[in-house]
Structures are given as structure tokens and as C-alpha cells.
Amino acid sequence: MGNYGELDELAINTIRLLAVDATFHANSGHPGAPMGMAPVAHVLFNKFMSFNPKNPKWPNRDRFVLSNGHGCMLQYALLHLFGYALSMDDLKHFRHVDSITPGHPESHDTPGIEVTTGPLGQGFSNAVGLAIAQAHTGGVFNKPGFDLFNNHTYVFFGDGCAMEGIASEAASLAGHLQLGNLICIYDDNHISIDGDTKVSFTEDVTKRFEAYGWHTQWVQHGDNDYDAIEQAIQKAKDVTDKPSMIKLTTTIGFGSLHQGTGAVHGSALKKDDIVQVKKKFGFDPEKSFVVPQPVYDMYHKHAADGAAKEQEWNSLLEKYSSEHKELAEQLKRRLTGDLPKGWQEKLPTYKPTDPAIASRKLSESVLEAIHEVVPELLSGSADLTGSNNTRWKNAVDFQPPSLGIGDWTGRYLRYGVREHGMAAIMNGMSAYGTIIPASGTFLNFVSYAAGAVRLSSLSHQRVIYIATHDSIGLGEDGPTHQPIETLAHFRALPNMMVWRPADGNETSAAYYMALTSKETPSILALTRQNLPQLEASSIEGAIKGGYTALEDKNAQITLVSTGSEVSICLEAVKYLKDNNNIVARVASLPCWEVFDAQSKEYRLSVIPDGIPSMSVEVMTTLGWEKYSHDQFGLNRFGASGAYKDVYKKFEFTPEGIAKRAVATVDFWKDVKPIRSPINRAFTQLI
């Protein structure tokens, strides 16, 4: 057993049995992974990781990510044992409503959880983001004698994560970026939910990671060769120019009568099995949730060492504050999540006489204008830089210096054609605490990233999706690239701001809200085609999520619209007056999520009682019933052609809008009273 003795064994078995007891108590959950990975968890946490349970947010702590999040009782047990604010009672409430020990780890609610995992492949990819953030933050702030940011990021992942494409994307990019502080431990237990992985997963995982440019090792006896585990992790730390993958062969459900089989993967152990495993490990089979005091003592000592390291770091930061005053101030500010005072004065504003510009270009102008005053902004693209307009002119690429095409301080990340990986990496970067990631792809391909976008929302990450080519207005690329369902999808996602600005001021407003909402991600849907600057638009109006773009007290109908269709609605108002003698007003609603948060009085001023409203947006009408009596949209796929031809084909013209507005006015004339859809019978649970 080399450096390891009985106390280590006792600690490892304590972890295993806490997982056994908690899953039994909850009558659900996954004991197998915790029982198999307890040894490596013990070695990693107790020998290598620096953290302070009393301050889980110490900026230079080592990060740990359990990508196989279903094994979260492993992590909850560790957090409890090391002294995080996670009590034995919390373990007993594993998987109970309103506990801080839910079925999969959630970073927003549980101290010590870095990122929300469970959906497979996400945690692994988040870890790549955490490692990028460390390299970048170190690159920006570390100075000779001040190695402020040098933490490691450790990941556990299983066969499920290894099979997911998102993890392949992230691993390929991590290899390219030579992320030396990233150490990933692959739980090679040959079991997934369908049983033996031989039924679907027979590739050579190690060779694949080598192909990505990773350093790889194999620990053959992960159940009991603690020394080999330690040596492998140490070796991985010593390799500083490549990320490391350690294949660790373990026995899932180690100790159970059904160890090594699918039976221990996703169900609690049976009573008799629990009795025998407790006996085998020298524990009292009659007792549950037992932690021997020496185990607490050992782990609390390690925690105290971590607290001391934080103290040292704090002293270093104080010294740094006098020697590198400005940087220190910037760092401290960035850690609060606040932006620098007055940054918003740099946001571009526009007059109606300014030329028509595509909102993807307007977005570029924002980035150009603010990147110097918002140094935490790190932009990028999934290989669409020239189309997404995500790169400011003098941007430096974030690249390993050895490639000669950028460095660690670079604030432009070329993610490659890896949308899902990109989104999860951004979540990890945001979780690190010093960066606001923004990155681009076509709106249609944000859908490739849906799994990770969902976790941006659920885990309250401030990430910005710059989603250009936002409709049929992209033209020639055709239906495969033209979003129809996409905005409805993300508008239905809780805690997500979907912005579709109509002009320059609205684009600036979208950035203002995206950057200042510390706990809400944003999708900015931007056009390829040019948009005129609107008469009534202002940043102040648009940051309310919706405002009156054209008022008329005599209006017979409100046209409610977003983005590229707002200006067409304004033309339709003239057309209606001239041709149909109908008076219309226009509401611009660039962000529903934000609009919904305004007072009812304000919302009713934008979409008033007494007249019908009709929505106009060149995509699905689904959801627009919330703000309108009738809806003009596109509940079919688009068409490939010049954008003006495509708009004409689907009648998104002043005439086409007017025709439907006339029908709407006519249809509602016999209803009394006509209530604005803003009025609801009851309030939703949120």
C-alpha cells in the first residue's frame, strides 16, 4: 500500500458507504460511480487539491468537476467530509425537494459545486473552459513573483461523457490549446446504463486523446493501487504543455455483491447487499451515515491547510496591490462581477439619419467600442469570425504562445466548428469568475449547443451568444440555415434573455443588459441584412425589453414586432393609412424576458387595451399569442434566394402586413372589451 494506510482505507470506505446510505435513503440515485471512484477522489482531494471549504470562492482554488454528475453522492460526501456548508442532514435529504443535494450537482445552490453537471459531456467541457479561464487570467494578472492564478482543473468523467460528441469537441480544442493545468480522470469501468460498454463503445479512448494532442496514462488497478493513482496525477501535473488524461480502470459499485455490473449503476443497493458491504468494510451494518472521527480529522486538517494557502494567497494579493495597483484593482473589480464605472458611456448610439447597418455589424461596433473598458470580455466564434463580426480590429488570439499566433492574454478564442463544445466551454469560463465570455455562430446553429445553452440558464452563467444570420433574411444559404423554431425554443427557456434588436440603439441596449445581468445568459439574434435606424429607438427604451416605436392615440391596431421586421411594420403603418384608412401603432419587443419584468402599467402602455394587436416576425408564430391577438409569421421552412426575394415570397412586405392587419381589425371589431393580452387571470409561478 506504499504511502497509504488504514486511515486512507477507512476514509475511502466512508465515502463509499455514505453514497450507499444516501441512495438507499432516497430510494434512488447512483451508488456505483461513487463506490468505484472513492479511491481516486480520496487521493486527489487529500493529496493534491488546494481549497478552503470556509470560502468555496477563493479565486485560485483548484477546481473539481464531476462530469459524470449522476455520481454526485461522491461529491456531496467529499464536500461534507472536508467541512463545506453541507451537513449530514443535507446528505440525508439527498434527492428531496428543496434540498441542496439534488439528483445532479447544481452550482447555483450548493457550496463547493463549481459547475452544474449531469447531462453527460457538459462537465468535461466546462472544465476545458475553467482551464482556459485559468490560463487567460494567469496570463493577464500573473507577474514575476506573483503567480496569482496557477490552479489546476481536475475532472472525473465516465464512459457516458466519453461517448458524447460535446466532450470530443472540447477535448480536441483543449489539445490544440495545450492546456497544461487540465487533468482529466477517465473512470474506465466498462459499464454504462445498457450494461457492458462492449455493446456500443469499443474505441480506443486513450489513442483518441493522443490524437487530440493530450498526455495520456493508464492506471490499471484503480480500486486499490493508491500509489499508482498518486504517481499518475503527479506526472500529469508535471506535464505542463499538454492537458492530461488518466485512464483509471475501476470496478463500478466496488464492494457490492453486484460490483462490476450495470445493476449497481443507477439503483440503490438492496438491504442485504448493504449489510454485507458494511461488514466487509468493517462498519456496523446496523448503522447508517457513519463517519469515523479520524476521517473527519484527516480531512479537516487538509481543509485547514487549504485555508492557510488562501491566507498566503491573500497576502500575496495585498503585496501585488501595491506593486501592480491598477491590475489589482481591475482584478478585484472583476471578481465582484461589476463592470467599471461609466463603461456604458462607450456604447454606440444612433440617430434616425444614420445609415442602415446590419445588426451583426452593429454588434461588431459595440465590441469595438467597449472592449477596452470591459477587459473581462473574451470574444470568439465557432469558425465564423468574418460572418459573426465578433472580432475587434486589434484583438489578439487566445493561443498557446508556442504556436506563434497569439498568447494566453489573447481575448479572441477560435473555437472551431464546435458549437456545443463552445457553449459548455463558455459556461466553464463564466464559472471561473473573472471572464465574461461572448461568442458567435449562426442563430440556427445555437441549436447544436442546446444542451449547454440550457445549462447557461440553469446555472446562472453570464454568457453571451452572438447569433447572427437570424432569419430567412440570411437569404441564399436556404432552409438548412434559416431559423424558424429557434427563438421560440430559447424564449421558452427560463432565465434566458433572447434579444432581437431592430437597430443600433437596440443592439447597444441588448449588450447593456447582457453585460450587466450577472446571473442571466443572453442570445443576441442579429441580422445579415441592413436595418435602418428607427425614429423612436433609444437605449433607455430598449433596455425595458419593449417600447412604443410609433404612437398614435387614434390607433385601431398595434403591430408588435422585433428586429428586422420593425422597420417594415413602420412602412406598413403608412401603407395602411394611405390604402386602408386604418391607423396603426407599432411596438418593438426586442426581449420578452426583460419586457415581462416591467410593471403591468408600463407593459399596457406598449400593448394597450381597447384595440387588437398583431405580431409580425419572420419565424414561428408560437408564443406570440402572449403579446398579440393575431400573428403573422412563418410556420414552415424558408427558402434559398436573395433575401428580398425570400421576404417577398412570404409576404413580409408593407402590403403583406397591411393585408393581415386589415383582417385583424375587422375580426376583432365585434368583441367588447378588447383586452390587451398583457392582462392575465392569474400570475405564473416563477
Which parts of 158-187 interact with its own copies (CB under 8 A)? Answer: 159-161, 163-169, 172-173, 175-176
Question: What span, in angstroms and rounded, lies between the C-alpha atoms of 28 and 161?
Answer: 21
200 binds its own copies (CB under 8 A): yes
Which of 387, 530, 538, 605 is in the footprint of its own copies by CB under 8 A?
A: 387
Query: What is the per-residue binding string for its own copies in 413-442, x denoting contact by CB under 8 A?
Result: -xxxxx-xx---------------------
Distance CA 328, CA 268 (A): 49
We find the least distance from the C-beta atom of residue 496 to its own copies, in angstroms, to be 9
Sites for its own copies among residues 621-640 (CB under 8 A): 621-623, 625-626, 629-637, 639-640
CA distance linking residue 238 with residue 241, whole number of Å:
9
CB of 446 to its own copies, least distance (A): 9
Contacts of 456 (CB under 8 A, 6+ apart): 423, 426, 427, 430, 463, 496, 521
Interface of this chain with its own copies, residues 117 to 156, rule: CB under 8 A: 117-121
Confirm or reject binding of residue 218 to its own copies (CB under 8 A). no
CB of 449 to its own copies, least distance (A): 9
Q: Is 473 assigned a ligand-binding role in the annotation? A: no
According to CB under 8 A, which residues from 324 to 353 bind its own copies? Answer: none
Tally of CA atoms within 13 A in the half-sphere of 170 that contains its CB: 36
Backbone angles phi, psi at 105, to 5 degrees: -65, 130
Q: Which stretch binds its own copies (CB under 8 A): 157-165, 271-279, 429-437, 580-588?
A: 157-165
CB atoms within 10 A of CB 291: 19
**Residue 24 φ then ψ, to 5°:** -65, -45
Contact pattern for its own copies over residues 59 through 98, marking x by CB under 8 A: ----------x-------------------------xxxx
- What is the total residue count of the chain? 686
| Residues 267-286, interacting with its own copies (CB under 8 A) | none
- Write the burial class of residue 238 (CB in 10 Å: 0-12 exposed, 13-18 middle, 19+ buried): exposed
Q: Is 451 in the site for its own copies (CB under 8 A)?
A: yes
Catalytic site includes residue 419 = yes
Instruction: Copy the grid coordinates of residue 119.
Output: 447531462
CB of 386 to its own copies, least distance (A): 7
User: Least distance from C-beta 482 to its own copies, angstroms?
Assistant: 10
Figure out which of the listed residues 154, 350, 445, 511 binds its own copies, where binding follows CB under 8 A: 445
**DSSP classification of residue 532:** P
Listed in sequence order, the residues at least 6 apart from 475 whose beta carbon sits closer than 8 Å to its beta carbon are: 528, 529, 640, 641, 642, 643, 646
User: Site for its own copies (CB under 8 A): how many residues?
Assistant: 142
The residue (of 52 and 495) whose beta carbon lies closer to its own copies is 495
Please tell me whether 189 is known to bind a ligand. Answer: yes
- Helix, strand or coil, per DSSP, at residue 597: coil
| Site string (27-56) toward its own copies, x via CB under 8 A | -xx---------------------------
Residue 265 labeled ligand binder: yes
d(CA 87, CA 74): 14
Query: Under 8 Å CB-to-CB from 162, ≥6 apart: which residues?
Result: 186, 201, 205
Q: Is 160 annotated as a binding residue?
A: yes
Task: Pick the closer one to its own copies by CB: 248 or 498.
Answer: 498
Order of strands across the sheet that contains 584-588? 547-550, 584-588, 557-561, 613-616, 630-632
Site for its own copies in 547-566 (CB under 8 A): none
* Tally of CB atoms within 10 A around 249: 17
Which one of 371, 411, 454, 462 is in contact with its own copies (CB under 8 A)? 454
Whole-number Å distance between alpha carbons of 483 and 481: 6
Check the annotation: does 25 bind a ligand.
Answer: no
Per-residue mark of binding to its own copies, 478-507 (x: CB under 8 A): xxxx--xx--xxxxxxxx------------
Backbone angles phi, psi at 21, to 5 degrees: -65, -40
**250-255-261 Cα angle (round to 5):** 60
Give the start-end residues of each E strand in 280-355.
none
At its nearest, how many Å lie between its own copies and the CB of residue 261? 13
Give the separation between CA 548 and CA 291, rounded to whole angstroms: 63
Interface residue with its own copies among 142, 314, 385, 598 (CB under 8 A) is 385
Backbone torsions φ then ψ of 608, nearest 5 degrees: -80, 160
The answer to whether 469 is a known ligand-binding residue is yes
Contact by Cβ (8 Å): 183, 171 = no
Which of 620, 625, 630, 638 is CA-nearest to residue 657? 630
Q: Write down the catalytic residue from 419, 506, 565, 593.
A: 419
Q: Which of residues 640-679 bind its own copies (CB under 8 A)?
A: 640-642, 645-646, 649-651, 659-660, 663-664, 666-668, 670-673, 675, 677, 679
Q: What is the largest CA-CA distance in the chain?
A: 91
List residues with catalytic annotation.
419
- Binding-site members for thiamine diphosphate are 70, 118-120, 160, 189, 265, 445
Binding-site residues sit at 30, 70, 118-120, 159-160, 189, 191, 265, 360, 387, 445, 469, 477, 481, 528
> Residue positions in the annotated binding site for substrate?
30, 265, 360, 387, 469, 477, 481, 528
